[in-house]
Structure formats: C-alpha cells, structure tokens
Amino acid sequence: MSLEQFASVVPQSIVNGLMLGGTLALVALGFSIVWGILNIINLAHGAYLMLAAYFAYFMFTGLGIDPFISLVPAMLIFFGLGYLVQRLIINNVVRAPLLVTFLLTFGLEIILVNLALNRFGGDYRSITTAYSGLGFSLGDVKVTYIKLAALLISVLITFMLHLFLSRTRTGNAIRAVGMDIDAARLCGVRIGQTYAITYGLGAALAAAAGVLIGMSFPITPDMGGPFNLRSFVIVVLGGLGSVPGALVGGIIFGMVDAFAGVVVPGLKDAVAFATLVLVLIVRPQGILGKAFYK
C-alpha cells in the first residue's frame, strides 16, 4: 500500500477503530471485574455474551422488540443468572487454586455452547432492523447508526459502573474485597454476597455487549470464544484494576485491529498481540493498572 493510499483510509480506520474499541471495552469490562475481584479467569463470559445475542435475536424476530430496548431486560436476566451461578456453583470452589476455577468456567462454557448448538443449530443468524446499514457520512468517512449507538452505550455503561463502584456502599464493598479480603471481612462485608453481585455484574455486562454485538455481527453458538480472547488482551493491556483501563484498552485494541486490517489484514491478530507484548515490556501493570478499581 502506498503512502497516499494509506493516508486516504486513515480517517475511516480511526472511526472504525473507535466504534469497535468501545464495544470491545464493554465486553472486557465484565471480564475484568470478575478477574480482578474474584481472581477468576471467567471463560464462561463469552457464552453469556452469545446467549444474550440470541435473546435479542428472538425478542426481535418473535416479539418485534427492538434490540436496543431488549438491552435492559437482557442485563437484568443475566445479572440474576450470574448471581445464581456464582452462589450455587462457583462459590463452592472460589478459594481453590486458579486452575480449578479456570477449568470450572471452561466446563460451563462448553455446556452452554453445546446447549445452544443443540437448541439453535449452527446456522448463522442476524438481527436485521429497519435501520441496519443506515448511517451518515462526514466527507469520505462513513458512520453507521448502530455502531455509533453501540459506542455511546458502551461509554455510558462504563461511566455508570465507575460511579457505582466509587459512590455506592455495595460498590465500595466490591472494591474493598478486591483490595484486601480479610480487612473487608473484618469491616462487616459479606464476602459471599459481594462475590455473587460482582459475578452477576460481569454477566450483565457480557449480556449488554452480546446484544450490541448481535446487531453488527453474525450470531452463532461459538461466537463468544474469540471475544474471550480479546477480553483477556484488553484487560491486560488496559490494566487489571481499572474500569477506565478497560475502555482505554478496548479503544487501543480497536485502533490496532482497524489499522492492521488495512495494512496487513492477514496479520492483524499478530499485530494486536505484539502491541500487548510491547506495552507489557514498558509498563507491566498495563496502561492504567491499579491495585484496585477506582
């Protein structure tokens, strides 16, 4: 690609990177709080995302409910699901070595994906609304309404989570458990309930991301796996222990993905991981890494 050709695609790549990065940040946010507070690498995260995408699809095709409207009930349902999964299943091994919880969530993912495959089949599905594909142009830059709305919703949810963790009693309890579980217990924090709420929040955030992603990407039972991998990269890149870090990490990953897709499309994943390695060499805790969420 010549320099002139590259310069011509820079504005569109920036816009694409921002819109993709915002949505990926929302995916990574739920992954991050579960990892940071419960010390669990939650491989079931992608399965919750996938199920929420199917939820939005069937709400739209079966009941005619707009996917943006189904966002709120999806988050509430999956918060309840996550709360129960943590209380009834994960809580039994939550203090076990990391490998045990890793394998448990991996098993949950396999069960949910196979149940979805058995129930829904492996066909590609899509949510096609009246405004799908519509957008506006700023010169040569094209912006679709769905992706712009997804970016704005992702930023709004990230901001609301930041306020929740920093301004509410429950949020402070979650942060306290992340900082020092023994001190939090001595202060009267109910650890089991706090863990369940945190895991429920992670599932709710995955559901929000799943609904938004389902409006722009094909919906299949195995769609969650790649987003698990991207979440891991974004969390480490932005810094485990920072809600804004997930947003920053998502934007950076989205930008790298957009530009690498234009310059070296066959190597864009390698470029993204190379960026992660470079950041970790310079700043091992990630860009905005903290010892706790703030």
The closest alpha carbon to 115, from 48, 67, 201, belongs to 48
Beta bridge partners of 138: 141
Q: DSSP assignment, residue 240? A: T
Please report the pLDDT score of residue 267 as a whole number.
75
Distance (Å, whole) CA 166 – CA 241: 13
Distance (Å, whole) CA 191 – CA 204: 20
Span 67-84, pLDDT tens digits: 999 999 999 999 999 999
pLDDT at 294 over 50: no
Span 167-190, pLDDT tens digits: 999 999 998 888 888 888 888 889
Residue 257: CB partners within 8 Å, gap ≥ 6?
17, 20, 268, 272
What's the pLDDT band for 242 if we cut at 50, 70, 90? confident
What's the pLDDT band for 97 if we cut at 50, 70, 90? confident
Mean pLDDT to the nearest integer, 264-288? 77
Mean pLDDT to the nearest integer, 12-35? 88
Question: What percentage of residues in the chain have a pLDDT greater than 70?
Answer: 95
Mean pLDDT to the nearest integer, 30-55? 91
Please report the pLDDT score of residue 35 as a whole number.
87
pLDDT at 252 over 60: yes
Please report the pLDDT score of residue 6 as a whole number.
58
Mean pLDDT to the nearest integer, 255-281? 79
pLDDT at 165 over 60: yes
Judge contact between 239 and 220, C-beta under 8 A: no
Distance (Å, whole) CA 284 – CA 188: 34
Lowest-confidence range among 59-68, 150-159, 253-262?
253-262
Residue 122: CB partners within 8 Å, gap ≥ 6?
220, 221
Cα–Cα separations (whole angstroms), residue 126 to 25, 56, 58, 207, 218: 22, 10, 10, 16, 5
Please report the pLDDT score of residue 116 as a whole number.
94
Mean pLDDT (the chain) is 87
Domain boundaries, the chain: 3-118+145-282
What's the pLDDT band for 291 if we cut at 50, 70, 90? very low
Please report the pLDDT score of residue 52 as a whole number.
96
Please report the pLDDT score of residue 207 as a whole number.
95
